[in-house]
Amino acid sequence: SGLLPLVINTWPFRGATVAAWQNLQAGGSALDAVEEGCAWCETNQCDGSVGFGGSPDEYGETTLDSMIMDGNTMKVGAVADLRRIKNAVGVARKVMEHTKHTLLVGESATQFAECMGFPNEELSTNTSRFLHLEWLSHKCQPNFWKNVIPDASKSCGPYKPSRVLKQHLHTSEKINIHSHDTIGMVVIGKTGHIAAGTSTNGAKFKIPGRVGDSPIAGAGSYADSTAGGAAATGDGDIMMRFLPSYQAVEYMRKGDDPTLACRKVISRIQKYYPEFFGAVICANTTGSYGAACNKLPEFSQFHFMIYHPLQSQPIEEK
Ligand code: SD4
């Protein structure tokens, strides 16, 4: 390793890697490549956990979280709980480039997106409707559904403090190997410009309004052209407490090689949450890269994609 340009992304989302790479080859910037790569997954619904039609919340709605960061200027644009807009990373980029803000959320983010010309579209599909109905039939029934499903027995909200623990057990299922797969991508351009981004539909059956790690700078991803870039995937509710992407970049800044930086990040989280599901990828300014995950019995290997000039195609590593 140590060659530029470099594209690295979470999970075996080969199409996203190729899209980012081709964008660079066509003269795109590192930011353009990250946007293109993440957008590829939004269009192609990578693993059902990026873009429309996946991870319905308790009410059955799919909502999107995304961010993009420019490591030259340290600007960030992000959207969270974005509704009825498919191209979340595109909107995140507009937040970065057309506002002085960093993060827009919910219906207001939708309104902003519409102003910027993004089409308002239904994000539910037959797949997400099915997932939701199946979940409703044997999990709790949000209050909303009690009118729709007469024999709804168990109810979710309102989430009174005394019920938090119980609620946690039957809703917002723990993110595991079966409900993962955010795309997180780091691109380093030929001249050393580092950009990073993420896109996800978050956690299955989340409480409406839940926002994960992916749209949070330093959590979902981070880029600083003077030190490196990183991105994270996994149980965002846990991971965002540790700003893993920021931490990985800071470890590299002080001289750790990328693999060690990722491992140290994972072990810091492990100390408090030994069973957490998650992984981090990172790359330093020279184009060296690394990754680490929390090795669990049901999740022994984390796969990611790499593309650099010595390869004629993207390579899957673990
Ligand atoms: C989230 N981090 O919303 C995302 C989900 C994910 O692999 O990455 N799963 O918590």
| Per-residue confidence (pLDDT) for residue 213, from 0 to 100 | 97
* Whether the Cβ atoms of residue 215 and residue 79 lie closer than 8 Å to each other: yes
Catalytic residue status for 182? yes
Choosing from 171, 182, 198, 285, the catalytic residue is 182
Predicted pLDDT at 266: 97
DSSP string, the chain: ---SSEEEEETT-HHHHHHHHHHHHTT--HHHHHHHHHHHHHHHTGGGTSSTTS---TTS--EEEEEEEETTTTEEEEEEEEES-S-HHHHHHHHHHH-S-SEEEHHHHHHHHHHTT--------HHHHHHHHHHHHHS-B-HHHHTTSTT--SB--S--GGGHHHHHHHSS----GGG---EEEEEE-TT--EEEEEEE--STTPPTT---STTSBTTTEEEETTTEEEEEEE-HHHHGGG-HHHHHHHHHHTT--HHHHHHHHHHHHHHH-TT--EEEEEEETTS-EEEEE--BTTB----EEEE-TT-SS-EEE-
Write the pLDDT tens digit of every residue in 51-104: 988 898 989 999 999 999 999 999 999 999 999 999 999 999 999 999 999 999
44 CA distance to ligand 1 centroid (A)? Answer: 17
Residues with CB under 6 A from ligand 1: 65, 175, 180-182, 200, 202-203, 212-214, 233-236
How far apart CA 283 and CA 260 sit, in angstroms, is 11
d(CA 217, CA 290): 20
Least confident span in 60-69, 167-176, 290-299: 167-176
Question: Which sign, positive or negative, has the C-alpha torsion 101, 103, 106, 110?
Answer: positive
Probe ligand 1: pick from 201, 206, 213, 294, max atoms within 8 Å of CB?
Answer: 213
pLDDT at position 295 is: 86
Which residue type, as a one-letter code, is found at position 24?
L
pLDDT range class, residue 160, cuts 50, 70, 90: very low
Pick the atom of ligand 1 nearest to 233's CA. 8
pLDDT attached to residue 146: 54
**pLDDT at res. 54:** 86
What's the CA-to-centroid distance between 2 and ligand 1, angstroms? 28
What ipTM describes this predicted complex?
Answer: 0.96
Burial label for 125, CB within 10 Å (0-12, 13-18, 19+), is middle
Distance 183 CA to ligand 1 centre (A): 9
